[in-house]
Structure 1
């Protein structure tokens, strides 16, 4: 199924990753408002919020968007996700969504909540494939676990 909104989200995210963070954030926030006004569904909400979180300058704002992404995923079915991509299963979204929340809480100094969400991410990690994405998410889980063990609230190192 062609999903024009998802095509726009993908293009905006790529611009944000290329350094146009402020413009990408503004465009995704505008898309969020459209979706909230009835121009999309929970699949769109989940994806937009997940990517918007990564474009925030403040940790509390990032947490807010990651919470919105997790709340939206509850309304997404495998069938809906597969309308966008046949390979998607909602359970496969959970490790990344939980991991994002673990990292948000860790950065904010809430180790207990960070551990809770990291445990949820690890429990759902069997939904990840043996592919570059699965390896990436599992690698970040290890970095978050190590940072928690060290009591660090610093940004994770980028390799």
Structure 2
């Protein structure tokens, strides 16, 4: 999922974005704590767009694939509850279908790192199925390349972290 200019101000999405920026700048611990605090505020029944976005980005802040997997599962579950109308309220250029390639890619990569190759294959196949929904440009190209990399790693039964994977470095 890419960051985009919101249609309406959304303080929760802004707070998520600030924490994500902090994590990408290298302060994973602080970003993780901020996102966990927001998760407590949002709750498991809160706005599905908030839950999906937060969980998707929080997963990237964990080095341990089992911890990341738990958050990626939450992100996919929340995405299934997000309506197209809600996504459009946040940003007119976004579509919920565009979230799925990245969500399934992350699940596939975590399952692969855990050695659960059947589950990894199921999710990489789903990522490939949803790949036509990716935008053209750098973001779409990045995800298409990552899908290819994870597909190859699954075929090779490779459980090492990809150099291009998001998240903290080991």
**Larger helix percent:** 1
Q: Deviations over 1:19-67 (max 9, x none)?
A: 11000000000000100077x4000000000001001132111000000
**1:15 counterpart = 2:51:** no
Give structure 1 stretches of 5+ with no counterpart: none
1:104, 1:37 → 2: CA distance? 22
**1:104 counterpart = 2:110:** yes
3-state SS of 1:74 partner: helix
Q: State the TM-score, normalized to the length of structure 1.
A: 0.95
3-state SS of 2:20 partner: helix
Give the equivalent residue in structure 2 for 1:88. 94
Q: State the TM-score, normalized to the length of structure 2.
A: 0.89
C-alpha root-mean-square deviation of aligned residues, in Å? 1.3
- Match for residue 37 of structure 2 among 30, 41, 48: 30
1:48, 1:98 → 2: CA distance? 16
**1:158 counterpart = 2:139:** no
Give the equivalent residue in structure 1 for 2:148. 142
Give structure 2 stretches of 5+ with no counterpart: 1-7, 166-170
Q: Which has the higher contact order (CA 8 A, sep 6+)?
A: 2
Q: Is the 8 A contact 2:44 2:51 kept in 1?
A: no
1:37, 1:59 → 2: CA distance? 21
3-state SS of 2:21 partner: helix
1:37, 1:117 → 2: CA distance? 23
Give the equivalent residue in structure 1 for 2:137. 131
- Match for residue 60 of structure 1 among 60, 66, 72: 66
